[in-house]
Amino acid sequence: MSATKREEVSSHLRYIRLDLREMYQMLIKDDLLPDLNEAKEVHAQLDALLNLLSDKELKKIKSQSENF
């Protein structure tokens, strides 16, 4: 994985971790459910991370299939 891709993944994970930590604290400390929009944002961030990682996997699979 290239350095830029690694930095992007790291950045995505950092933001997701912070958002999930805030949601967890709301649940545990305040006994409140997180706002639906906050949950949707985290879901969108996870989708973006999956797409970022999936692009690399698709390229790897395509290059392997071309070798045959």
Encoded amino acid at 12, one letter: H
- Given a cut of 70, is residue 17 above it in pLDDT? yes
Percent of the chain at pLDDT above 70? 78
Q: In the prediction, which pLDDT does 68 show?
A: 45
Task: Please tell me the distance from the alpha carbon of residue 32 to that of residue 22, in angstroms, as a whole number.
Answer: 11
pLDDT band at 65; cut points 50, 70, 90: low
pTM above 0.85, yes or no: no
Range of the domain at 60: 3-66
Q: Tens digit of pLDDT for each residue in 31-63?
A: 888 788 988 998 898 888 888 888 655 555 555
Task: Please tell me the distance from the alpha carbon of residue 59 to that of residue 48, in angstroms, as a whole number.
Answer: 17
Task: Please tell me the distance from the alpha carbon of residue 35 to that of residue 27, in angstroms, as a whole number.
Answer: 11
The count of structural domains within the chain is 1
Q: 23: closest CA among 14, 12, 33?
A: 33
